[in-house]
Amino acid sequence: MRKIKITLRILFLLIFATIAHYALPQHDVVRVVNTYQERQDLNDWTRMFWARPDDQSAELINRDVQFIQTVKRRTFLLGFIPREATEPMVYRNEDTGFSWPFYFKFDTANLQTEADDLRSTSETPKWAVMTHYGWRNEYISAFPNAIAIRPVDSPNVTIIPWFNIFFFICLAALLLFIRAMWRQFRERSVDPLLDAAGHRVDEVQADVAERKGRISRWLGTWRKKDNSRLPPE
């Protein structure tokens, strides 16, 4: 039973970590190379990686999506340690509206204009910090969704994920609060009921044992009577 509990907890943590890594904002240091618009098919299971900003988009099998092509600065340890190397990265630029994840993004056109204004070449680079969520996967054509972009003076910029830090602090506080409430509820309500049930079980077992003893004693009296009726040898 203990192994099952540990397995379920590990599975829950893996699922939570996967969802959090997909949905929480991430920050990349990039150089914008180009922006374009392309029609995308949304008629297979990869639809889950595209935004659903309104009810109408849920019924469409394809739609025009804006993209931002960049050169991204490589990093170590989930973006905390920058590297000198770069790699290509393409972001989609879609409104999220009121759907999940809840970024309430409605400024796709403005973001595309800001990205256009930051386009540059390797000879005269303009660096920027791209805030996004989601994953890039070439095999299923999944693209992270750009949320915001801001220019920086150089690629050697320190990015502190304040939102993620605040989110995990609030989540930890909430879990501790729920744990404290559950312990109080268990001490005040569950434990007394379990103790009462245990006492009741003990009383029932004692009553059953007493009744069995009475029956055994009654049967013993009959055995004595039967033995007294036997003829002497």
Q: Are residues 42 and 112 in the same domain?
A: yes
Q: Residue 151's pLDDT is what?
A: 96
Q: Residue 72's pLDDT is what?
A: 93
Q: Are residues 152 and 89 in the same domain?
A: yes
- Domain membership of residue 230 (yes or no) is no
- Domain membership of residue 11 (yes or no) is no
Q: Residue 229's pLDDT is what?
A: 54
Q: Answer with the one of 114, 129, 159 that is the final residue of a domain.
A: 159
Q: Are residues 207 and 154 in the same domain?
A: no
Q: If you write DSSP's letter for every residue of 39-60 in order, what string do you get?
A: EEE--SGGGGGS---STGGGT-
Q: Answer with the one of 130, 159, 188 that is the final residue of a domain.
A: 159
- Domain membership of residue 225 (yes or no) is no
Q: Are residues 37 and 126 in the same domain?
A: yes
Q: Judge contact between 53 and 94, C-beta under 8 A.
A: yes
Q: Judge contact between 31 and 123, C-beta under 8 A.
A: no
How many structural domains does the chain have?
2
Q: Are residues 97 and 139 in the same domain?
A: yes
Q: Are residues 140 and 53 in the same domain?
A: yes
pLDDT tens across 1-33, in order?
A: 778 888 998 999 999 999 999 999 999 999 999
Regions of the chain short of the pLDDT cut 70: 43-45, 52-61, 77-80, 190-191, 193-233
Q: What percent of the chain has pLDDT over 70?
A: 73
Q: Are residues 150 and 185 in the same domain?
A: no
Taking the CA atoms of the chain, what radius of gyration do you get in angstroms? Answer: 34
**pTM metric for this prediction:** 0.75
Q: Answer with the one of 142, 159, 176 that is the final residue of a domain.
A: 159
Q: Are residues 133 and 207 in the same domain?
A: no
Q: Residue 140's pLDDT is what?
A: 82
Q: Are residues 31 and 123 in the same domain?
A: yes
Residue-range definition of the domain harbouring residue 124: 25-159
Q: Residue 171's pLDDT is what?
A: 94
- Domain membership of residue 229 (yes or no) is no
Q: Are residues 149 and 183 in the same domain?
A: no
| Phi, psi angle pair for 62, to nearest 5° | -160, 155
Q: Are residues 119 and 178 in the same domain?
A: no
Q: Are residues 197 and 124 in the same domain?
A: no
pLDDT tens across 53-72, in order?
A: 554 455 666 778 999 999 99
- Domain membership of residue 120 (yes or no) is yes
Residues 73-83 as b or e (16 or more Cβ within 10 Å = b): bebeeeeeebe
- Cα–Cα distance for residue pair 164/78, rounded to 1 Å: 13
Q: Residue 207's pLDDT is what?
A: 66
- Domain membership of residue 57 (yes or no) is yes
Q: Residue 88's pLDDT is what?
A: 94
What's the mean pLDDT when you consider all of the chain? 82
